[in-house]
Structures are given as C-alpha cells and as structure tokens.
C-alpha cells in the first residue's frame, strides 16, 4: 500500500511540474493547450493548475480566442515569485 501511495504522489508531482514547465515555456497558454501538448487529460491539467494558482506560482489573465467552444482562460507564470530548481530523490 505504501508503494502505491508513493507512486501516486510521485506521478502527481511530476504532472504538476510538467504543467508548470509548459506555462513557463509557452505562456500565454490555456489549460486545453497544455493538455494537448503534454498528452495529460484535462482533469489532471485542471487539478495541477488549481494547485499552482493556490501557490501563486501562476496567474490567470482574461480569456483568449475561441476555436469553437467557450473562450479559454489564459495562464501565465508569476515571475514575481522567481525561479527555483529542485531535485526529488
């Protein structure tokens, strides 16, 4: 059971790091674009984005152009928090 919990937490951290990386590299970007680029499902992207918003690492700025559906909310990296590099072993 401990291994399953550890693996789930590791996958969740890695997904969140991937979402943050996409926002840093490709901002301005929407949740849908992140899902399309990374191959993560929309629920995973949304969950990661919500955590990053709570941690104030990213912020939302209005809506972008619609491609037929509802207009996407645009995401940006919060440069005021700076950069940090960490390795989890």
pTM: 0.81
Helix orientation angle between 31-38 and 42-54, rounded to the nearest 10 degrees: 120
What is the predicted pLDDT for the residue at 82?
Answer: 63
Per residue in 12-61, pLDDT (tens digit) is: 999 999 999 999 999 999 999 999 999 999 999 999 999 999 999 999 99
**CATH no. for 2-81:** 1.10.10.10
Q: Between 69 and 57, where is the model more confident?
A: 57
Nearest CA to 31 among 79, 78, 74? 74
CB 74 within 8 A of CB 37: no
Domain ranges of the chain: 2-81
């Amino acid at each position: 059971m401990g291994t399953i919990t550890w693996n789930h937490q590791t996958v969740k951290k890695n997904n969140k790091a991937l979402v943050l990386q996409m926002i840093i590299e490709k901002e301005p970007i929407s949740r849908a674009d992140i899902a399309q680029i990374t191959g993560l499902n929309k629920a995973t992207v949304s969950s990661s984005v919500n955590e990053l918003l709570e941690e104030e690492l990213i912020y939302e700025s209005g809506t972008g152009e619609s491609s037929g559906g509802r207009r996407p909310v645009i995401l940006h990296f919060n440069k005021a928090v700076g950069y940090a590099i960490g390795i989890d072993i």
